[in-house]
């Protein structure tokens, strides 16, 4: 099993003063997957990633990165985009990417060639020779991301990669993540924005208060909440209400309610039998954001936790 994992952690703990910022975190990231670490702001995501990478040491627990118990021994096989962005503003985009690759052992000439190809493939071909100070914030952030993958690492770790990006650059980043996965890389990223995780992640952990509150697939998380129905009778009548669960509310031209444990079929059978009919029916699975709120609590989800 261990050979199938790009990253593993058991019981990671990090103390800042008397506060347990990370409190017994376990993570298992399969090779070749896109894995998300989700949580409110201040939940301990960045500290966890930094411990996994060997940037800071845990106070307790064990971790393995690409088979190495000392993560820095695998550093040339890893690409990392930190939460704090930063490029030399006087560097041109191609040279900035090649420079970041060189820090991971990539030859300069190879880095420049790959940089130009990556910029072109990601809609930034026009920016090859532009200085970083001339780029928009979103473009500069993508350049830094390209610098973290130019050496074709086995593992790519992205800390809040979508933060501050406009929708166009968010879409570019999602495509880049999927392209790197298709190349065979493992992607581990943190975010507090559920939409990206819902589209990209094969598995995820949800962290709140420094603890893992959930681990599994997106569908596993969504299954924590019941299905919802929107039923529109063909012949609206006040008597319809008596057939529906107690939580039913009249909305959007019909009735919305949680599908009961016995299923929706008995309700529909009675509606047809009494002549109300069915003009419209949809069954909806709650989205990942709703599951996230259930797992971490609404206050934490909406306000974030203290940093």
Q: Are residues 271 and 156 in the same domain?
A: no
Is the pLDDT score of 1 beyond 60?
no
Q: Are residues 203 and 240 in the same domain?
A: no
Kindly report, residue by residue over 107-152, the tens digit of the pLDDT.
999 999 999 999 999 889 999 999 999 998 888 888 999 999 999 9
Kindly report, residue by residue over 93-115, the tens digit of the pLDDT.
999 999 999 999 999 999 999 99
Q: Are residues 154 and 204 in the same domain?
A: yes
Q: Are residues 205 and 232 in the same domain?
A: no
Q: Are residues 236 and 217 in the same domain?
A: no
What is the band of 302 on the pLDDT scale with cuts at 50, 70, 90? low
What's 185's domain CATH number? 3.40.50.300
- The answer to the question of residue 169 being in a domain is yes
Q: Are residues 189 and 247 in the same domain?
A: no
Q: Are residues 71 and 158 in the same domain?
A: yes
Q: Are residues 147 and 274 in the same domain?
A: no
212 CB-side CA count, 13 A:
18
Stated pTM of the model: 0.86
Q: Are residues 243 and 164 in the same domain?
A: no
Average of per-residue pLDDT across 1-9:
85
Number of domains in the chain: 2
Q: Are residues 232 and 215 in the same domain?
A: no
- Domain of residue 9, residue span: 2-89+143-222
Q: Are residues 159 and 245 in the same domain?
A: no
Is the pLDDT score of 260 beyond 80?
yes
Structure token digits, residue 141: 């952030």
Could you tell me where the DSSP H helices lie in the chain?
A: 45-53, 93-102, 108-121, 137-149, 167-183, 194-200, 218-222, 265-273, 288-296, 298-303
Average of per-residue pLDDT across 66-91:
90
Structural element, H or E, at residue 25:
strand 19-30
Q: Facing residues of 36 across strands?
A: 189, 204
Query: Average pLDDT of the chain?
Result: 91
Kindly report, residue by residue over 264-294, the tens digit of the pLDDT.
999 999 999 999 999 999 999 899 999 999 9
């Amino acid at each position: 099993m261990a050979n199938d994992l790009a990253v593993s952690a058991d019981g990671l703990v990090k103390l800042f003063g008397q506060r347990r910022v990370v409190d017994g975190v376990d993570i298992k990231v399969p090779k070749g997957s896109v894995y998300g670490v989700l949580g409110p702001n201040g939940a301990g995501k960045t500290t966890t990633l930094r411990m996994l990478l060997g940037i800071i040491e845990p106070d307790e627990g064990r971790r393995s990165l690409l088979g190495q118990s000392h993560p820095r021994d695998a550093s040339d096989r890893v690409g990392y985009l930190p939460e704090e962005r930063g490029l030399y503003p006087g560097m041109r985009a191609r040279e900035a990417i090649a420079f970041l690759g060189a820090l991971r052992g990539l030859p300069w000439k190879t880095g420049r060639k790959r940089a130009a190809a990556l910029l072109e493939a990601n809609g930034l071909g026009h920016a090859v020779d532009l200085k970083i100070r001339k780029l928009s914030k979103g473009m500069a952030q993508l350049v830094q991301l390209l610098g973290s993958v130019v050496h074709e690492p086995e593992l790519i770790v992205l800390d809040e990669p979508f933060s501050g990006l406009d929708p166009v650059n968010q879409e570019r980043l999602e495509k880049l993540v999927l392209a790197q996965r298709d190349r065979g890389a493992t992607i581990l990223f943190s975010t507090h924005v559920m939409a990206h995780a819902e589209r990209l992640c094969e598995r995820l952990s949800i962290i709140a208060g420094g603890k893992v509150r959930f681990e599994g697939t997106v569908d596993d998380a969504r299954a924590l909440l019941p299905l919802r129905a929107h039923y529109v009778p063909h012949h609206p009548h006040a008597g319809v209400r008596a057939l529906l669960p107690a939580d039913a509310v009249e909305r959007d031209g019909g009735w919305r309610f949680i599908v009961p444990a016995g299923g929706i079929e008995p309700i529909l059978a009675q509606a047809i039998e009494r002549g109300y009919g069915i003009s419209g029916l949809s069954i909806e699975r709650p989205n990942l954001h709703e599951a996230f709120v259930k797992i971490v609590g609404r206050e934490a989800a909406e306000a974030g936790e203290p940093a």
